[in-house]
Structure 1
C-alpha cells in the first residue's frame, strides 16, 4: 500500500529539517511526501527545495490557515492512507511508517492511531507530556477520549466519503473531524501501542484559560454540527483527561533504532 504524508508549514525554518529528515529517513519505501507552505519568508522554502525529489509535491502560496493547507495536501494525495505531520513535529524512529502500514494490512481497519510525547521546543530530550491514547472503546468520545491527531492515519477514502477539515472550527477542526469519522460514521480503528510522534510543546488551544474556554465552546459546536448529543460531562472530561499526561513517563527507549 502507498501512504501519503503531508507537512503543513509557515515560517518554520527553525525546525522543518527535523520533520523532513524523520520522513525521508523512513524505511517504508512507498511514501508520497507532500509539503504545503503558506508563503514563508524566513528561508523555509529554500530548505524544503534543498531536498529535491525526496519531496514528491511542494507548493508555496498563501492559504486560509492550517486546516485549509491540510485540505490542499489531502486533495493532492494519491496514497491509500494519509498521515499528517506538522512542521514542528517528527517521527521518533525510522520504522514508524513501516509499523503503521503493517497494522493496516493486518487489521484491515479504516484508521490507526498511536501515542505521542511532547518535548521542550529547544531541548527535544526533555519530555513535558506523554499522551498514551490506549485502546479504543465504543462511545469513548462521550467520556472525553480522543486520539492525538498527529498520530492519526486514515484511509484516503474516508476523506472522500465524509469530508475534509471544516475551516470554521478553528483549533477544534481536528477534534471535529475525528468525532465525525469515528463517533458519527463508526470508522474502524486499530491502536498501535507505541509512541509514533514527537511534538514540540506549544498548542494553541491550551495556552491560557481563555483559550481553553474557547476550545470548549468549539468542541460543543463540533457535536452540534454533526447532530450529536454529548453527555453533560463530555466536554469537561476532555481537558481533564489531559492532566495525567503531564505526570506520566514514556518508555526510555521510545526513540528506538531497530
Structure 2
C-alpha cells in the first residue's frame, strides 16, 4: 500500500473513532438506560474503538518507518531529549510492571493511609481507578470517593464498590479543589494522598510508600516515577524522576501527582486544605506550602502510578489556565514573572539528571527480567475476593475486609 493510501485509511479510522466517542457520550444522556446496560455497551464500543486504533497505530508506525531512517543524529536526539512533560513517547504496548511489585508487603505495623478520589463524569475509567487501589490489599486504608453528582453511570459503579470504601458521596461541588477538601474532611489517616478518577495506582504502591515512611520518620512528602497510559490502559511512556531537588520546585512542578503522598502533620502545617482558587496547579501550590512549613521531600526509586492520557482530561483542556496559575506561583516564590530563559536555566540541571535516570531505566527495560501484566478490571462482578492477585495476599486481604466490615457496621 502506498503511503498516501495508508494516510487516507488512517484519516478514515480516526473519523470512525470520533463517531464512536460521540455515541458513548450520548449513551450517558439517554433516559431509561440502566447503569449496568450502559457499562456493557460502553465496554463493547470501547473494544471496537480499541481495535480501530490498533490498526491506525500500526499504519502510522509503518508510515513513519518508511518516511525516514534511523540515522545516527536521530538516535542521539532520541537519547538526549528530556521526556518529562512528554505524554506520548512510544507506540502503545501492554501495561506491565516488574514481577516483584506484586509481592511488596506493608510494614509490620502499617500506618493508616487516607486516599481521596475526586471524580466527575469519569464513569468510563472510575472502576479502573477503584480496582487499582483496592487491589493493593492495604490493611489500614481509608478510601473516600467524592463525586460531583455525575450522571454517566459513576454512581452505579460506586454503589457496587461501597462496602470497600470508607465512604462515597455524590453531590455538586465547585470543582476539583473543593471536591478534595470535601473528601479529606473528617478523615484520620497518618499518610494522605489523592488519585484522580482516570489514573491508576500500580501494584504494591501503598505498601511500598508505607514502608518508606515507617523507615524514614523525618521525611514528610514522597513521590515516585510514573507510567503513562492511554484510554485503553496501554503504556505510552515513562517519566523517570531524578533525586528530589528543591531548586527545581521553585521553577516548575514535574512531580507526578498520582504518586504524591504526605504526612498529615505536613498537611496541617500547610493549612490543612487545598486552595480552591487554583484549578490546575493545586498540587504544586500544596507542595510549595508544605515545603514552606518545613516539610522534607524525597523521591522514591519506583514506578508508583499511571497517568492516563485521553481527550477529556483536564490537563489537556486547560493549558491557558495552567500557565496563568504557574506564573502566579513563580511570582509568589521569586517576587516576579520569570523569563523563558530563566525558566530554561532553572530546570537545566534537573533535566540533565533526569536524562541520566531515564537512560538507565531504558537500558534496564531492554534487559531480560520477569514482568507481570497489570489487570485493570476484575475478571467478573467485583467482590473483595477479586482484589487478591496471589495467595500471599490472603492475610492482608482478610485484615482489610474485616476493617471495612467493622467500619460499615
Q: What interval of TM-score do these two structures reach, taking the shorter chain for normalisation?
A: 0.7 to 0.9
Which of the numbers 137, 145, 154 marks the counterpart of 1:35? 145
Which of the numbers 175, 179, 182 marks the counterpart of 1:72? 182
Cα separation, partners in 2 of 1:161 and 1:229, compared to 1, 3 Å: farther
Cα separation, partners in 2 of 1:46 and 1:206, compared to 1, 3 Å: closer
1:61 equivalenced with 2:185 (yes/no): no
Q: Tell whether the 8 Å contact from 1:15 to 1:88 is kept in structure 2 after alignment.
A: yes
Q: Tell whether the 8 Å contact from 2:251 to 2:330 is kept in structure 1 after alignment.
A: no
Which of the numbers 202, 209, 227 marks the counterpart of 1:92? 202
Q: Could you report, residue by residue, the CA deviation over 1:133-166 in whole angstroms, capped at 9, with x for unpaired residues? A: 2211232323535411211101112222212221
Q: Tell whether the 8 Å contact from 1:6 to 1:36 is kept in structure 2 after alignment.
A: yes
Query: Residue 118 of structure 1 aligns with which residue?
Result: 228
Query: Residue 210 of structure 2 aligns with which residue?
Result: 101
Higher normalized helix content (fraction of residues):
2
RMSD over aligned CA atoms reads 2.9
Which of the numbers 175, 179, 184 marks the counterpart of 2:284? 175
Alignment length (residue pairs): 248
Task: Quote how far apart the aligned CAs of 1:230 are.
Answer: 7.4
Q: How does 1:154-169 map to 2 (within 5 A)?
A: 154-163=262-271, 164-169=273-278
Q: Secondary structure at the match of 2:331?
A: helix
Q: Which moved more, 1:229-238 or 1:55-64?
A: 229-238
Unaligned runs of 5+ in 2: 1-110, 366-370, 375-388, 391-409
Task: Quote how far apart the aligned CAs of 1:102 are.
Answer: 0.2
Which of the numbers 221, 233, 240 marks the counterpart of 2:328? 221
> In structure 1, what is the Cα distance between the partners aligned to 2:250 and 2:285?
13
Give the TM-score normalised by the residue count of structure 1: 0.84
Give the TM-score normalised by the residue count of structure 2: 0.55
Q: Which moved more, 1:96-105 or 1:198-207?
A: 198-207
Q: Tell whether the 8 Å contact from 2:229 to 2:306 is kept in structure 1 after alignment.
A: yes
Task: Quote how far apart the aligned CAs of 1:187 are.
Answer: 1.1
1:132 equivalenced with 2:240 (yes/no): yes
Q: Could you report, residue by residue, the CA deviation over 1:179-198 in whole angstroms, capped at 9, with x for unpaired residues? A: 2223x333112221111111
Higher normalized strand content (fraction of residues):
1
Cα separation, partners in 2 of 1:220 and 1:54, compared to 1, 3 Å: same
1:151 equivalenced with 2:259 (yes/no): yes
Q: Secondary structure at the match of 2:142?
A: strand
1:83 equivalenced with 2:193 (yes/no): yes
Q: Could you report, residue by residue, the CA deviation over 1:10-45 in whole angstroms, capped at 9, with x for unpaired residues? A: 122111111111111113210011010100111111
Query: Residue 8 of structure 1 aligns with which residue?
Result: 118
Q: Tell whether the 8 Å contact from 2:269 to 2:290 is kept in structure 1 after alignment.
A: no
Task: Quote how far apart the aligned CAs of 1:52 are.
Answer: 2.9
1:190 equivalenced with 2:298 (yes/no): yes
Q: Could you report, residue by residue, the CA deviation over 1:163-186 in whole angstroms, capped at 9, with x for unpaired residues? A: 22211122122221112223x333
Q: Tell whether the 8 Å contact from 1:39 to 1:62 is kept in structure 2 after alignment.
A: yes
Query: Residue 71 of structure 2 aligns with which residue?
Result: none
Query: Residue 44 of structure 1 aligns with which residue?
Result: 154
> In structure 1, what is the Cα distance between the partners aligned to 2:253 and 2:281?
14
Task: Quote how far apart the aligned CAs of 1:254 are.
Answer: 7.8
